[in-house]
């Protein structure tokens, strides 16, 4: 059974850079069927798609964050990572990693999620 | 970006009630829509994909319908474990976008 687990700091100072990692267990990140995704949920409960990466390194990002975000993948460690720069209080949220089933499958969409990690931006 | 407008934002219902939640897309998205259930302190869980296909393991009282710009999630007979917040997600085009959520509370 595939599981995803986020890891990283829970508290980051304004203007600093957030780095989170999502470790995939029970399956290979190198499957051609999935995009590996970051999503965040604000304290008011709204959900925002941040971006995703294919095992080959192809990425897509939300234009609202594109200048500040990068996502990388390490197939040898079976994990992928999020980097978000120039943090402000508005970036305070629960950050989820999720597996996105591509359109090559009938069941396209986010089928597996990590438990999420709360990131607070505060001095 | 495609805007997803969900209604209502909250509702109160009793066990056994039939509940319907609507999601409208700002432009046509074919049937590229999923429905998710989220309970407090938990990650969202997929219920429906492709607008109307039931995720494996999800009770058959959940159903989805619609195509184009208007979609509905129906719970045919609300159960105690169904009190949660529900979100729609469009994956027709980037950036992927979610509806604002519908909180289903106990009457």
Q: What is the pLDDT of residue A32?
A: 84
The chain B residue lying nearest A116, using CA atoms, is: B43
Q: Which residues from chain B sit within 8 angstroms of residue A113, using beta carbons?
A: 43-45
Q: Which residues from chain B sit within 8 angstroms of residue A110, using beta carbons?
A: 34, 36, 44, 46, 89
Q: What is the pLDDT of residue A78?
A: 96
CB contact under 8 A, B101 and A110: no
- Residues of B within an 8 Å Cβ radius of A: 1, 32, 34, 36, 42-46, 49-50, 53, 55, 85, 87, 89, 91, 94-98, 100-101
Contact by Cβ (8 Å): B16, B25: no
Closest chain A C-alpha to B25 CA, distance in angstroms: 16
Q: Of B36, B12, B46, whose CA–CA distance to B99 is shortest?
A: B36
Q: Which of A70-79, A96-105, B79-88, B92-101 has the lowest mean pLDDT?
A: A96-105
Is any Cβ of chain B less than 8 angstroms from the Cβ of A1? no
CB contact under 8 A, B53 and A107: yes
Give per-residue pLDDT as tens, B12-21: 999 999 999 9
Residue with tokens 């590996």: A36
Contact by Cβ (8 Å): A38, A82: yes
**In tens digits, what is the pLDDT along chain A, a chain of 123 residues?**
999 999 999 999 999 999 999 999 999 999 888 999 999 999 988 999 999 999 999 999 999 998 999 999 999 999 999 999 999 999 999 999 999 998 777 889 999 999 999 999 999
Contacts 24+ apart (CB under 8 A), A5-10: A5/A114, A5/A115, A6/A95, A6/A96, A6/A97, A6/A114, A6/A115, A6/A116, A6/A117, A7/A117, A8/A95, A8/A117, A8/A119, A9/A119, A10/A117, A10/A118, A10/A119, A10/A120
Whole-angstrom Cα distance, residue A25 to residue B13? 39
Mean pLDDT for B47-57 is 96
């Amino acid at each position: 059974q595939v599981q995803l687990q986020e890891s990283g700091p829970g508290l980051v100072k304004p203007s600093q850079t957030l780095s989170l990692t999502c470790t995939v267990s029970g399956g290979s990140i190198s499957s051609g069927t999935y995009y590996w995704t970051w999503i965040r949920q604000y304290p008011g409960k709204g959900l925002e798609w941040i971006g995703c990466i294919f095992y080959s390194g192809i990425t897509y990002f939300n234009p609202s964050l594109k200048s500040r975000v990068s996502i990388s993948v390490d197939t040898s460690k079976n994990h992928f990572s999020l980097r978000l720069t120039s943090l402000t209080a508005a970036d305070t949220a629960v950050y989820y990693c999720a597996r996105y089933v591509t359109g090559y499958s009938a069941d396209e969409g986010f089928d597996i999620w990590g438990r999420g990690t709360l990131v607070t931006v505060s001095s | 970006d495609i805007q997803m407008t969900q209604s209502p934002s909250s509702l109160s219902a009793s066990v056994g009630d039939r509940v319907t939640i609507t999601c409208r897309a700002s432009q046509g998205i074919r049937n590229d829509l999923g429905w998710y259930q989220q309970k407090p302190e938990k990650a969202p869980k997929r219920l429906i994909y492709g607008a109307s296909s039931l995720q494996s393991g999800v009770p058959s009282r959940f159903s989805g319908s619609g195509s184009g710009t208007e979609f509905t999630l129906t719970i045919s007979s609300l159960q105690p474990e169904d009190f949660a917040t529900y979100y729609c997600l469009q994956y027709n085009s980037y950036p992927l976008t979610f509806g604002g959520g519908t909180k289903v509370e106990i009457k």
